[in-house]
A and B are shown apart, each in its own frame.
Chain A
Amino acid sequence: MTDLSNRFEPAQPVPSAPPILSVRGLCVTFDGPGEGLWGPPKKVQALDNITFDLARGKTLGLVGESGSGKSTLGRAILRRLPLSNGRVFFEGKDITAVKGEALRRLTRNIQLIFQDPYTSLNPRMKVLELIAEPLLVHGLVSSIDEARDQVVELLRLVNLPVETIDRFPHSFSGGQRQRIGIARALALKPQLIIADEPVSALDVSVRAQVVNLMQDLQQELGLTYVFIAHDLSVVRHISHDIAILHRGHMVEMAGRDAIYETPEHPYTKVLLSAVPEPDPSHRRNGGVNAPKTVPTQTLSFDGVGCRYRTCCDKAGGHCQREAPPFAKHEGGHWAACWHVGMT
């Protein structure tokens, strides 16, 4: 924690509004299987030293391959996971140690949209009960029927026909179910919504509908999103800032255009080159080479030096000796690389 303070340059421009969400040096460790029969459990570092700020009304896209810790980060912000280190601030308040009833009250302000719209709705509850449940359990209404008006309003907000209110989830399509999930998340009028791959289980044709709906809601209600995804084009569409995660580390974070146009970190470059480009004349590498895959086997996890030094063109002596911190560079571009701005 102490060395973090000097990592944030004091010269950085003070944002006009305080960030709604601040994460400082967040670490999550899981107990893995032990060595042999009696050995101590192996620690698995799921998230290591994650730091970022998220301004009110903005969307942060969290991108990474599977296993990179995106969903874990989402759950950690929701305080559903114990942190091994670091702090989470919501609206300036430290929510790291919040639990029990206080945590329950906190969920009124931070809500979650689930990845799979098919399993995230109880098959035995009607739309009315599903959406009214948050209101009921927080004592905002005394009975389900009292919530009917609010539920109707929420259905209208997510563009679902009002007469669907008494139907069960099985009679809806994936996109409609996801709207029900969004309506449920909105019921408590939260300020921050963590969307855990909200469109990756949906048909390509309805993805745009849901993403556009989320954007409209953001403008209408001033929501802040943490948008977790692995689909780079969707993330580019909805996000203001994008953070790239790899193996529990944040490797780069910048405005969405900066990430796509001028990626600094070698991993980001490889990741972007893996995006299929439908138009041959626009292919990044001239359409000749097959997209590069991340050479994970050559990454070095010895803890000394930069992890990516073996697969980076620019790797030099400094990279061998010391791991680059995740630090802010010119133009608000955060990256864990010694070479940013030196091109």
Chain B
Amino acid sequence: MTITSSSMSDSSTTHRSTTPSMTQGPLMSFAPIGRFLKELWRDKAGFAGFAFLVLLGLAALFAPLLAPHDPAAQSVLARLKPPIWMEGSVSGHLLGTDMLGRDILSRLLFGARSSLLVSVSVVALAGSFGVMAGLVAGYKGGLTDALIMRVVDVQVAFPGLLLTLLLVAVIGPSTATIIIVLAFSNWMIYTRVVRGIVMSLRQTPFVEAAEVVGCKSARIILKHILPNLISPLLTLAILEFTNIILAEAALSFLGLGVQPPATSWGLDVAGGKNYMMIAWWPITFPGLCIAMTVLSINLFANWLRVTTEPAEREKRYARGRAAKMRRAKKT
């Protein structure tokens, strides 16, 4: 990995210095990716997380090509067959079958599609709206702040699941509906968290310095406050991501989420729950997928957080250099 990425960036730098415009375009655009991978490689855990996420994304994208079976095809004869390495398994069902005889591996691959689509879009949608509201409330203060925060309070006080069920029942279940409805009932936490941090950041001398220097509010919010919110926001978004996967499972379980024959991890966990005592595999594998995804995001986000913080990033670089020098001394 290191070799390829370094050679990639090397070739691009030589190109930049020697050849003019024509060949530069495509190579220039690869250089940042090479640098990114090279830096990511130094953090093995972060790299593993990122690799898993990329594989997962590809698996979800190419699920129809990869899946050995139709995820919805039922077979009464092959119900609750264990994974291939266990006694009593049926050939062709790598991870066994569920209570309706559907192939678990195929369901995982297809389930990744809706699970990832829903949770990523909900976090992005709710996050961007909630963060924006929080930034405005925290920075403007006064009446604007009071108005936004009262809306938040009212919505927090209203039971989230009830609101979601109501909305889905009115609009009618579909993937787009779930995304919108879940975003609608989950944006408040971002506003609350962001507002608090913004209010304390407002008091810091560097924000006052930006004001004295003559920055307008929009620039202060975007250039001085928002970048300093990255680490708490990453943490919050990851916590929310798991929440959303579970919320989507709950909705699907109630029949208002992902509609069969489509499936999702949450739906499979909810369905497999009833057979947990006699067959562990229908619930374990989708559960494992959720856990692995969240872990991978965590590892990658941890790397990302350090990378966006200049001081931490340099410390990490220095640690890496020191370790390399120690190793060199030993040999």
A binding-site residues for B, Cβ under 8 Å: 78, 80, 104-105, 107-108, 111-112, 114-116, 119-125, 133-134, 137-138, 168, 170-171, 181, 184, 188
Contact = CB atoms under 8 A, between A and B. Distances in A.
Contacts of A107: 212-214
Contacts of A78: 212
Q: Summarize A's interface: helix, strand, loop or mixed.
A: loop
B216 A114 contact: no
Given A122-B224, A122-B228, A188-B213, 4 more contacts: A107-B213, A120-B208, A124-B310, A134-B214
Contact of B206 (A104, A121, A134): A121
A235 to B, nearest CB: 22
B210 A119 contact: no
B140 interface: no
Interface string B307-318: 011110010000
B219 A112 contact: no
B209 interface: yes
Interface string B200-214: 000011101111111
A177 to B, nearest CB: 11
Nearest to B311: A170
Contacts, number: 69
B56 interface: no
B282 to A, nearest CB: 47
Given A114-B205, A120-B206, A120-B209, A137 B311 contact: no
Given A108-B214, A133-B213, A134-B214, A119 B310 contact: no
B212 A111 contact: yes
Contact of A133 (B210, B309, B314): B210
Interface in B191-248: 204-206, 208-216, 219, 223-224, 227-228
A123 B228 contact: yes
Contacts of B224: 122
Interface of B: 204-206, 208-216, 219, 223-224, 227-228, 308-311, 314
The B interface is mostly helix, strand or loop, or mixed, namely helix
30 contacts: A78-B212, A80-B212, A104-B214, A104-B216, A105-B214, A107-B214, A111-B213, A114-B205, A114-B208, A116-B205, A120-B208, A120-B209, A121-B206, A122-B206, A122-B224, A123-B206, A123-B228, A123-B311, A124-B308, A124-B309, A133-B210, A133-B215, A134-B214, A137-B213, A137-B215, A137-B219, A170-B310, A170-B314, A184-B209, A184-B213
B216 A137 contact: yes
B208 to A, nearest CB: 8
A14 B255 CA distance: 88
Contacts of B310: 123-124, 168, 170
Nearest to A139: B214
A121 B204 CA distance: 10
Contact of A124 (B205, B211, B216, B227): B227
Most chain A CB inside 10 Å of its own CB: which residue of B206, B214, B223, B311:
B214
A119 B204 contact: yes
Contacts of A119: 204-206
A120 B205 contact: yes
A151 to B, nearest CB: 14
Contacts of A124: 227-228, 308-310
B140 to A, nearest CB: 15
Nearest to B315: A170
A107 B205 CA distance: 16
B240 to A, nearest CB: 24
Given A122-B224, A124-B227, A124-B228, A168 B311 contact: yes
